[in-house]
Amino acid sequence: MKPAAAGVAFMAVAAVPLSVAGAGPWSGAGAGLPLVIAHRGASRYAPENTLAAVDAAYRRGFLWVENDVQRTKDGQLVVLHDTTLRRTTDVERVFPGRAPWRVRDFTAAEIARLDAGSWFGPRFAGERVPTLAAYLSRLDHNGQRLLLEIKSPRVYPGIEADLVGELRRRGWLDRTHTGSRLVVQSFCVRCVKAVHELAPQVRTGILGSPPVAGLTRFARFVDEINPRMSALSSRWIAAVHRLRGPHGRPLEVYAWDVGKNTGAREARDRGIEGVIA
Query: Which amino acid, residue 162?
Result: D
CATH at residue 148: 3.20.20.190
Question: How confident is the model at residue 268, as a pLDDT?
Answer: 81
pLDDT of residue 105: 98
Determine, yes or no, domain membership for 200: yes
| Each residue's pLDDT tens digit, 167-190 | 999 999 999 999 999 999 999 999
Annotated catalytic residue, options 39, 141, 196, 247: 39
Task: Specify whether the CB–CB gap between 189 and 206 falls below 8 A.
Answer: yes
Three-state SS at 204 = strand
* pLDDT value of residue 261: 62
- Mean pLDDT, range 147-166, rounded to an integer: 98
| Contact (CB, 8 A) for 43 and 37 | no
Answer yes or no: is 1 within a domain: no
2 belongs to a structural domain: no
The pLDDT assigned to 259 comes to 74
Using one digit for the tens of pLDDT, what is the confidence trace for 4-56?
333 222 222 222 333 333 333 332 344 567 899 999 999 999 999 999 999 99
Query: Looking at 81, 196, 241, 247, which residue is catalytic?
Result: 81
Minimal CA–CA distance to 249: which of 180, 194, 198?
A: 180
Inform me whether the pLDDT recorded for 165 exceeds 70: yes
Mean pLDDT calculated for residue range 88-107: 98
Q: Domain span at residue 153?
A: 10-276
**Residue 3, domain member (yes or no):** no
Examine residue 69 and state whether it is found in any structural domain, yes or no.
yes
Q: Is residue 101 part of a domain?
A: yes
To the query of whether residue 39 is one of the catalytic residues in this protein, the response is yes
Q: Is 95 inside any structural domain? A: yes
Mean pLDDT score of the chain: 88
pLDDT tens digits along 219-268: 999 999 999 998 999 999 999 999 999 999 999 999 998 876 666 677 88
Q: What is the pLDDT of residues 68-84, one digit of tens each?
A: 999 999 999 999 999 99
In a domain, 5, yes or no: no
177 labelled catalytic: no
Q: For 137-153, how does the pLDDT look when each residue is reduced to its tens digit (9 = 90+)? A: 999 999 999 999 999 99
- Domain count across the chain: 1
Q: Which residues, 6 or more positions from 183, have their beta carbon under 8 angstroms from its beta carbon?
A: 146, 147, 148, 202, 203, 204, 205, 223, 224
